[in-house]
Amino acid sequence: MDSRYKKLKWNSILALFYQAILILTGLVLPRCFLYFYGSEINGLVTSITQFLSFINICDLGISAVVTAAYYTPLAYHDTKQISKIFVYSKRFFRIIGFILIAYVGFMLVAYPTLINNSFDFWFTFMLIVAMSISQLGQYFIGISYQLLLNADQKSYIRLIINGSTLLINTIISIWLMNIGMSIQVVKLTTSLVYLLRPIMMFWYVKKHYEIDYAVVIDKSVVKQKKSGIIQHIAYMIYENTDVMVLTVFSSLNNVSVYSVYTLATNSIKQIITAATTGAEALFGNMIARNERCNLQNFYNFYNWGVHTISALLFTITGLMIVPFVKLYTLDITDTNYYAPIFAILITFAYYLGCIRNCNYVLIRSAGHFKQTQIPSLIEAILNIVLSITFVFNFGLVGVAIGTIISTLFFVIFEVIYFNKNIVFVPIKCFAKQFMVDLFTIIFTVVIVKHVYIFDGSILSWITQAIISTIICFGVTLINQLAFYYNNVKLLKDKIFNKFKR
């Protein structure tokens, strides 16, 4: 097997394991914070985390541009060019680190004053200090090494390091809480454990790459920086439009309803994204080597896999999401969480979003930021304008419609652009794939409607979920055998060969 495909396999497998660890720790630690420190401190930790995450805006899309710049020199083992890109990125993110220090300094003064009625000034001050250390380590040390490993199809190194430190932190944090340590001590320990991440990546890169740290910094090695910034800002606007519009033009109750429904859809999106980890670097390597035939073959199989899994998982989600929300909000009476039309639309929006994002990696791999910046801006503007227009009359449904139309616009653009500029796959192939997805969705829904047994209990929800999954899987398999027999056979052969070995 080509070593590139082996790396893709391990990147995807470990990304799924890491996602499982994230979900597990994401359930356990907040519950422990609530139990040992109460809701108010848990809210304080969440709030500070959110404020510290604002610094990610300063990335300005440079991470994507730097990663794309690595593909050609890595493909041809051009250590001099790799060193130039690395040194440039290290200097850029060091500047971001200094901005973070200034931002944290501002937070240390302003934030404790803002919530002075709830907590003592120095209590909050020390908590911010404890929580900011790991972020400083990320920008001063870690991110440059992380981008190099990602571009070289070695995301599995980062995932192993991150997953290990995540588990270590969870165990130590629970132990510290059990012996009565303060939240500041727990969070300081978390930061120190997470500091191991950049240190370990630094050690790995130093051992396995010949980086000339003394090379003269050359800004020209990282091209299309402005276009990367535009794409980054446009995507941030696109991603955050729904909540922003609901907050400003609707109500916080609708924001709450939106957040509960997207708990399920966002989890599915993260799983699919994790499964495709490593594809971008493989695409980038093929494009850098001008392997047109390999690129087309791999992309066709990749696109089929993304569509098939997305249609399968989001169909099941669409069928089970309203019963899930009903159980999840069983004792909540201050807001009506029953929104079946919104549930269908937001599930479809996330399905399109998965197709959009998984295909967007091809644009990143090819480094076509400048060529695609205008459509990216149009997508963001469409989402804002349509969501604001529709929210007044349709509320939650309105923002979902805005997201669907804007995402569909960009998906269609991707199809046309790929056909003409990158993989040169006929548009009819994309149309066929969407039609097969549509068949899967419609046939599954029609069948499941006749075996709907959910009666409001958890047991009936689990039973209904199992029945819906079996039906959807069966319909998907029949459709794929009918329309994509060769792909199914190829996948079957790969799986059976693994078991034989």
SS3 letters across 415-426: HHHHHHHHCCCC
**Stronger pLDDT, 81 or 253, i.e. the higher one:** 81
Q: What is the pLDDT of residue 232?
A: 72
Q: What is the pLDDT of residue 116?
A: 63
Per-residue pLDDT band at 234 (split at 50, 70, 90): confident
Query: Do the Cβ atoms of 67 and 150 come closer than 8 Å?
Result: yes
Per-residue pLDDT band at 500 (split at 50, 70, 90): low
What pLDDT, in 10s, does the model give residues 40-64?
A: 676 677 667 767 766 666 555 677 7
Count helices and strands in the chain by DSSP H and E runs: 19, 0
Query: Do the Cβ atoms of 182 and 51 come closer than 8 Å?
Result: no
Residue 493 has pLDDT above 80, yes or no: no
Query: Do the Cβ atoms of 447 and 471 come closer than 8 Å?
Result: yes
Return d(Cα 349, Cα 260) in angstroms, integer.
15
Q: What is the pLDDT of residue 2?
A: 58
Residue 1 has pLDDT above 50, yes or no: no
Q: What is the pLDDT of residue 252?
A: 65
Q: Could you tell me where the DSSP H helices lie in 426-457?
A: 427-448
Q: What is the pLDDT of residue 401?
A: 95
Q: What is the pLDDT of residue 214?
A: 80
Q: What percent of the chain has pLDDT over 90?
A: 25
Q: What percent of the chain has pLDDT over 70?
A: 88
With tokens 């932190």, the residue in question is 169
Q: pTM for this one?
A: 0.74
The interaxial angle of helices 225-249 and 369-394, nearest 10 deg, is 0
Return d(Cα 63, Cα 145) in angstroms, integer.
11
Q: What is the pLDDT of residue 43?
A: 64
Three-state DSSP at 333 gives coil
Mean per-residue pLDDT, 19-37: 74
CB under 8 Å, gap of 24 or more: what pairs does 101-105 form?
101/136, 103/54, 103/55, 104/52, 104/128, 104/129, 104/132, 104/136
Mean per-residue pLDDT, 419-425: 86
**Stronger pLDDT, 480 or 118, i.e. the higher one:** 480
Phi, psi of 215 (to 5 degrees): -60, 145
Question: What tokens appear for 198 in the block?
Answer: 């950049």
Burial class (CB in 10 A: 0-12, 13-18, 19+), 496: exposed
Render the burial of 53-68: b for 16+ CB within 10 Å, e for the rest: eebeebbbbbbbbbbb
Return d(Cα 137, Cα 140) in angstroms, integer.
5
Lowest mean pLDDT among 4-18, 318-332, 392-406: 4-18
HSE-CB of 445 using CA atoms within 13 angstroms: 13
What pLDDT, in 10s, does the model give residues 134-176?
A: 777 766 667 788 888 888 878 888 888 888 988 998 999 999 9
Residue 461 has pLDDT above 70, yes or no: yes
Q: What is the pLDDT of residue 144?
A: 84
Phi, psi of 260 (to 5 degrees): -70, -45
Residue 467 has pLDDT above 90, yes or no: yes
What pLDDT, in 10s, does the model give residues 290-326?
A: 888 888 888 899 899 999 999 999 999 999 999 988 8
